Amino acid sequence: MSSRGAFSRVIWWVIIAFGLVVTAFLILERYYLFGAIIGGFAVLRLIYTLSLPDRRGPLWLPPLNHSERALLRSMARDEFLVAAGVIGISGAQLRQDFNRGMSIAEMATSAGVALGPIIDAIVSDASARIDQAVAQGSVARAEGDSAKSKLRTWAERLVNTHKRDLPSGRY
């Protein structure tokens, strides 16, 4: 996690703690209504924070700049096909199962395929695609190297993603 991501997570928890402390103070001073309102918001924020799976939100990957995010997103569909090949199913079957709510990891498990080879194949293919884009000049070398350093985490996330996890259910 980057220092920026760690800092924003700390700030998030500081706001929750501050809200709870202010709530306690207001209730002790007999400002029950204000205490209940502020406490309610602090508790809602706490519940929301604790309900988020670790893979969701802005911290599921090391922070990506806009161009890295666009680069990896543009490769996702092709990497689904790479995963389908390793699992031993067609791209159409993978799409159908994904649209039904299964992740690649669940499809692999039901087919008796370990996740390691799938992730390795995705990382290898995506790395080759990035190298090709750098060689063609459509991606800067520094940007390509930076995106490649995040590929394993990205591939693990991709393999465990459900359609409902995508912002607009896109695939």
Residue 156 is assigned to a structural domain of this protein: yes
How many helices (H) and strands (E) are present in the chain, helices listed first? 8, 0
Tell me, what's the pLDDT at 72? 84
Tell me, what's the pLDDT at 58? 38
Residue 60 is assigned to a structural domain of this protein: no
- The reply to whether 129 and 46 lie within a common domain is no
- The reply to whether 108 and 41 lie within a common domain is no
- Structure-token pair, residue 164: 């409902």
Residue 61 is assigned to a structural domain of this protein: no
**Contacts for 9-14: CB closer than 8 Å, 24+ residues apart:** 9/59, 12/49, 13/49
**Contacts for 27-33: CB closer than 8 Å, 24+ residues apart:** none
- The reply to whether 86 and 136 lie within a common domain is yes
User: What average pLDDT values come out for the chain (171 residues) when binned by 10 residues?
Assistant: 61 88 93 92 85 48 69 86 93 91 92 93 93 91 89 89 69 47
- The reply to whether 90 and 38 lie within a common domain is no
Q: With 0-12 CB in 10 A as exposed, 13-18 as middle and 19+ as buried, what is 100?
A: exposed
- The reply to whether 99 and 153 lie within a common domain is yes
Tell me, what's the pLDDT at 21? 93
Count of domains forming the chain: 2
Could you tell me if 151 and 42 are in contact, meaning their C-beta atoms sit under 8 angstroms apart? no
Domain span at residue 35? 3-51
- The reply to whether 122 and 159 lie within a common domain is yes
Residue 142 is assigned to a structural domain of this protein: yes
Could you tell me if 113 and 88 are in contact, meaning their C-beta atoms sit under 8 angstroms apart? yes
Could you tell me if 159 and 118 are in contact, meaning their C-beta atoms sit under 8 angstroms apart? yes
Alpha-carbon gap, residue 28 to 70, rounded angstroms: 51
- The reply to whether 102 and 128 lie within a common domain is yes
Residue 23 is assigned to a structural domain of this protein: yes
Tell me, what's the pLDDT at 169? 44
Residue 105, C-beta contacts closer than 8 angstroms, at least 6 positions apart: 115, 159, 160
Spatial CA neighbour of 112 closest among 93, 91, 89:
89
